[in-house]
Amino acid sequence: MKTLFDKIWDAHVVATVKDGPTQLYIDRHLCHEVTSPQAFSGLRARGLNVFRPKQTTLTADHNIPTMWQDRPIRDSISRFQVETLAGNAKAFGLTYYGLNNPKNGIVHVIGPENGYTQPGMTIVCGDSHTSTHGAFGAIAFGIGTSEVEMVLASQCILQTRPQTMRINFEGSLGENVSAKDMALYMISQLTTGGATGYFVEYAGEAVRNLTMEERMTLCNLSIEMGARGGLVAPDETTFNYIKGREFAPKGEKWEKAVAYWKTLKSDEGAVFDKEITFDVAKIRPMITYGTNPGMGIPIDGTIPQLNEIDEAGKISFEKSLNYMGFVPGEKLEGKPIDYVFLGSCTNGRIEDFRVFTGYVKGKKKAENVTAWLVPGSWQVRKQIEAEGLDKILAEAGFELRQPGCSACLAMNDDKIPAGKYAVSTSNRNFEGRQGPGARTILAGPLVAAAAAVNGKITQP
């Protein structure tokens, strides 16, 4: 009896070092401009080429601006990193989606939407949120720069086999509760270290009922509770999403692929190292109040009192609240905010924009709020325009920006100013993550829309 993880892992083992790591074959390697330069320099120093160039795809996303992308990048460091990626792609003969390429976008958005991401694959990228691709029934995880070089040189990687965990979400989601709320609730219950050392399979009625984009959101946040990655067994929802995409199998190859993909599920009676079940009826729209994604509460909830915090965590809890300007026992509903960010590899897809637009339609953006609405890719932006969402957003006082990682992290022009509060659909609320001194409140697209219209944290 094997788990889904076991089936994929075992199919990719090249060799096992006794009392050591496994040499694992990698099907798809994704690269961006931040974690790859030293890896390519390492290849040059050793006189090596990329072993299987067709299995590596490059895109610029972290450092790029989200306005005026037809002009040179203003920041010299960002411009150098993007130019270096383009140069490496050319030198090593690799597919590269640079600025203004119609396939450009956030690395974890363009993989699925172009059909690169498929069930049963092993997928790596020098980026912690590579776990996003696990939504397709793939083993996908982030790697370091030295490992990026290893994969470029050999199409393999040395990895210690993680333990397995299954998290079951049973029941039906309540009104206005999203996959982002499921994830924030899960992390608040398990803490940011609750899945350390595990690869998580998400299962249960609520997971089966999620769309592919919602599954991507859930898997994206696996890393925020310490997991190596997260995955969902592929099903008809998965196959329908992939079918017809540019790099998906076609014709007879498609039929053969689907026949194999249908075998990718945990066997009845397969044993996990750990198993947890959540009743989704208990989940309400969530926000964070602190400086890690595990510090989450329902919108109408209150920040915990100091006596509710474990002794070991009291110092960091107090430090976090001091940074955020909050106090124990405080309610955040009704709290004024300054910025709203819709986007990132967590919530920058077309469904996220539909949810946001559905709420703001016929309303107006609050005057005290600066809103950055950033599609995850050019394909997402085109779809927004094709559906007329951009016109609805404009009527409500919102401006649509160009694709990129944007305000998820302070590596480009979109930085939240010090002391300002941002309701953000991204994945991390660490100190300074969105800019030095920025105060981040994580939430889903619907909660972000309500905050943008009302100018404060509001129950949608």
**Cβ proximity of 417 and 438 under 8 Å:** yes
Q: How far apart (Å, rounded) are the C-alpha atoms in residues 391 and 63?
A: 28
Q: What per-residue confidence (pLDDT) applies to 129?
A: 98
Q: What per-residue confidence (pLDDT) applies to 136?
A: 99
Q: What per-residue confidence (pLDDT) applies to 255?
A: 98
Per the DSSP assignment, residues forming a β-bridge with 200 are 165, 230
* Domain 4-159 fold: Aconitase; domain 3 (3.30.499)
Pair of tokens at residue 329: 């026992």
Burial 308-325 (b: 16+ CB within 10 A, else e): eeeeeeeeebeebbebbe
Among the four given CATH numbers 3.40.1360.10, 3.30.499.10, 1.20.1290.10, 1.20.120.140, the one describing domain 286-454: 3.30.499.10
Pairing, β 286-288 against β 296-298 = antiparallel
Q: What per-residue confidence (pLDDT) applies to 280?
A: 98
Query: How far, CA to CA in Å, does 442 sit from each of 190, 292, 423?
Result: 17, 9, 6
* HSE-CB for 442 with a 13 A CA cutoff: 31
Q: What per-residue confidence (pLDDT) applies to 38?
A: 97
163-234+257-282 shares the fold of 4-159? no
The domain spans of the chain are 4-159, 163-234+257-282, 286-454
How deeply is 53 buried, as exposed, middle or buried, from its count of CB atoms within 10 A (0-12, 13-18, 19+)? middle
Express each pLDDT in 300-350 by its tens digit: 999 999 999 999 899 999 999 999 999 999 999 999 999 999 999 999 999
Express each pLDDT in 396-420 by its tens digit: 999 999 999 999 999 999 999 999 9
**Cβ proximity of 345 and 378 under 8 Å:** no
Burial 234-256 (b: 16+ CB within 10 A, else e): beebbbebbeebeebbeeeeeee
Which residues does the chain have with pLDDT short of 70? none
Q: How far apart (Å, rounded) are the C-alpha atoms in residues 182 and 188?
A: 10
Class of domain 163-234+257-282: alpha beta
Angle between helices 350-360 and 378-386 (to 10 degrees): 40
